[in-house]
């Protein structure tokens, strides 16, 4: 981690573009376009988790980095990246408000151990749970204040002091291996924002899972015994468990996106799964973003009356000014709201991209492809596209270390159902890569059926991470080809690399995501070709053995 001193963003997935004036884009209807050098650079920033600025501490940093570390460190990293990369576009792929560990000097005792949020993927699905009566919620709300001491990933203990009940907990009746030796009878093994996002991390006699989310429905898996009620009285202790640290969503967003605004960088945003958990609804957050200075975000497509979510839209990147492609979109960017949590009673887990959104994407993709492949400068193949949203598709679980670049250090926290959006992307034929956030300590990128699926890796210092593992950002560079007359033409290649927030701002994992020189064979055709070549080799070996 580099020297820590500035401010970062957290609520959504954002895009920034290093062009002169965003207002000019909106007022004059101008589009993004490639630079005179034939490049378009995109900086992706995932999971900034901005809170209240200087007073919001960092999570999961080394002990020697705790003092003075705050949201401002994320801002400093963003400023460094803007200066180093000079992006034409920056994308923040989700992540709003997060949990804040306290300074280490507040530690004095611990009865409970925090693991960390585990997503609602296929391996983390729990059974439906009955409704918990409002009378019990009232009891929880009226409890006296106590500090809950937890162990963080960096190995020390601290107070989780917030002002709302918003977490599921697993309470076990016996201490387990690895728990603080000072631990008493009860052991908190995991926490998460939904019942399906917690699971037992170690052996133990776990008796209860309950949701303390006062804004919605609270639920209980097992009945509460009187002995547990006594334990809960001093464990949960009023509004001291977990809350979210952005006390005013609008102010936090203004601070989070201020580096883009002060740099005169146009930007756009999509929502993550936490954005509605402060003082604004998801619709309210998106409306605020749309109205901010230099924002290219859209609330939803104007031509569509009924669509799920908020912040579904596309941006076109035109060719170099003065070239034959100056009025043609040569790179298409799609933004979608991947939701927050399932609203279907018997489908647990995170949200997903709905049919109405997929229908809009299909129609938009077809429209853009027709425009690109018709005169003037009619092309034989669609312009490449890139898609940005927050929650990973289930297909992100298709990879292992042998077929991706980067690291996978936690599970794939996708929805517990497959909405079919990856198939929709494949059938559309123009999207070459998907970029997401959500799982902060994954940063891998792998190809599946001609589409690269890429994590950015956690950017923000108030988001959970891994102590000693540098916060990072992903950069994508699209380059144009030269035409026969020496001018700039269509997109030739799309490459990516990652930057680490260390003293050197180290770059790692350079990849070619797409190139006009790389032909992709559909799976059936690839298998047919492979069988043919194997047959030829077999024939040659047979002939050699006969000689």
Q: For residue 477, give every residue at least 6 positions away whose Cβ sits within 8 Å of its Cβ, in sequence order, or none.
A: 39, 40, 41, 42, 494, 495, 496
Is the pLDDT score of 419 beyond 50?
Answer: yes
Contact 257, 292 (CB under 8 A): yes
At 22 the three-state DSSP class reads helix
| Of 233 and 276, more confident | 276
Give pLDDT tens digits for 163-203.
333 333 333 333 333 434 333 333 333 333 333 333 333 33
Going by pLDDT thresholds of 50, 70 and 90, the confidence category of residue 334 is very high
At 28 the three-state DSSP class reads helix
Alpha-carbon dihedral 394, 400, 405, 411, rounded to 10 degrees: 50
| Of 12 and 409, more confident | 409
At 123 the three-state DSSP class reads helix
Is the pLDDT score of 374 beyond 80?
Answer: yes
What's the CA gap between 282 and 297, in Å, rounded? 14
Is the pLDDT score of 473 beyond 50?
Answer: yes
Token pair of 431 as six digits = 């999207």
Contact 9, 53 (CB under 8 A): no
What mean pLDDT is predicted for residues 243-264?
A: 77
Boundaries of every domain in the chain: 12-98+245-516, 104-235, 520-547
Least confidently predicted of 87-91, 221-225, 290-294, 349-353: 221-225
Give pLDDT tens digits for 64-100.
999 999 999 999 999 999 999 999 888 888 764 443 3
Name the CATH superfamily for 12-98+245-516.
Answer: Metallo-dependent phosphatases (3.60.21.10)
Beta bridge partners of 13: 270
Contact 243, 213 (CB under 8 A): no
pTM of the model: 0.71
Q: For residue 224, give every residue at least 6 positions away whose Cβ sits within 8 Å of its Cβ, in sequence order, or none.
A: 136, 208, 210, 232
User: For the chain, what percent of residues have pLDDT higher than 70?
Assistant: 60
Following DSSP, what letter does each residue of 384-410 receive, concatenated? PEEEE-SSPPGGGGG--TTS-BS-B-S
Which pLDDT score, from 0 to 100, does residue 443 have? 97
DSSP structural state of residue 397: G
Which pLDDT score, from 0 to 100, does residue 246 have? 58
Beta bridge partners of 333: 315, 386
3-state helix, strand, coil in the chain (%, to 5): 25, 25, 50
Which pLDDT score, from 0 to 100, does residue 1 have? 56
Going by pLDDT thresholds of 50, 70 and 90, the confidence category of residue 39 is very high
């Amino acid at each position: 981690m580099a020297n820590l001193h500035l401010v970062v963003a957290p609520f959504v997935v954002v895009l920034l573009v290093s062009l002169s004036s965003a207002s000019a884009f909106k007022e004059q209807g101008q589009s993004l376009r490639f630079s005179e050098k034939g490049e378009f650079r995109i900086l992706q920033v995932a999971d900034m988790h901005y809170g209240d600025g200087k007073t919001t501490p960092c999570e999961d940093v080394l002990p020697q980095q705790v003092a003075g570390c705050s949201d401002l460190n994320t801002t400093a990293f963003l400023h460094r990246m803007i200066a180093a990369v000079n992006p034409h576009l920056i994308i923040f792929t989700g992540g709003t408000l997060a949990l804040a560990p306290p300074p280490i000097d507040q530690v004095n005792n611990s009865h409970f151990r925090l693991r960390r949020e585990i997503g609602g993927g296929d391996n983390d699905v729990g059974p439906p749970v009955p409704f918990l009566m409002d009378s019990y919620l009232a009891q929880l709300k009226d409890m006296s204040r106590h500090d809950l001491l937890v162990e963080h990933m960096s190995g020390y203990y601290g107070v989780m002091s917030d002002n709302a009940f918003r977490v599921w907990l697993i309470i076990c009746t016996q201490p387990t291996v690895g728990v603080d030796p000072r631990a008493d009878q009860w052991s908190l093994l995991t926490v998460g924002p939904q019942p399906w996002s917690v699971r037992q991390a170690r052996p133990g006699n776990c008796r209860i899972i309950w949701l303390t989310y006062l804004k919605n429905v609270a639920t209980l898996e097992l009945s509460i015994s009187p002995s547990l009620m006594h334990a809960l009285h001093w464990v949960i202790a009023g509004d001291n468990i977990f809350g979210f640290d952005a006390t005013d969503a609008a102010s936090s967003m203004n601070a989070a996106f201020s580096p883009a605004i002060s740099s005169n960088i146009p930007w756009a945003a999509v929502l993550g799964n936490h954005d509605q958990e402060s003082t604004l609804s998801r619709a309210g957050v998106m409306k605020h973003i749309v109205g901010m200075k230099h924002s290219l975000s859209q609330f939803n497509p104007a031509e569509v009356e009924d669509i799920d979510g908020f912040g579904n839209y596309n941006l076109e990147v035109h060719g170099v000014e003065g070239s034959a492609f100056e009025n043609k979109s040569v790179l298409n960017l799609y933004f979608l709201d991947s939701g927050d949590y399932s609203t279907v009673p018997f489908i647990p887990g995170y949200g997903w991209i709905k049919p109405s959104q997929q229908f809009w994407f299909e129609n938009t993709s077809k429209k853009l492809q027709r425009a690109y492949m018709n005169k003037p400068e009619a092309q034989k193949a669609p312009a490449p596209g890139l898609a940005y949203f927050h929650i990973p598709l289930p297909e992100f679980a298709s990879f292992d270390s042998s077929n991706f670049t980067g690291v996978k250090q936690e599970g794939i926290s996708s929805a517990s159902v497959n909405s079919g959006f990856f198939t929709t992307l494949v059938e559309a034929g123009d999207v070459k890569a998907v970029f997401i956030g959500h799982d902060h300590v994954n940063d891998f990128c792998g190809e599946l059926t001609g589409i690269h699926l890429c994590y950015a890796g956690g950017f923000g210092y108030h988001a959970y991470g891994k102590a000693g593992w540098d916060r990072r950002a992903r950069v994508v560079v699209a380059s144009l080809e030269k035409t026969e007359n020496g001018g700039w033409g269509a997109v030739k290649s799309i490459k990516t690399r990652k930057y680490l927030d260390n003293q050197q701002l180290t770059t790692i994992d350079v990849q070619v995501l797409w190139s006009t020189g790389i032909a992709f064979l559909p799976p059936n055709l690839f298998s047919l070709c492979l069988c043919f070549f194997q047959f030829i080799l077999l024939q040659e070996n047979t002939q050699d053995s006969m000689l």
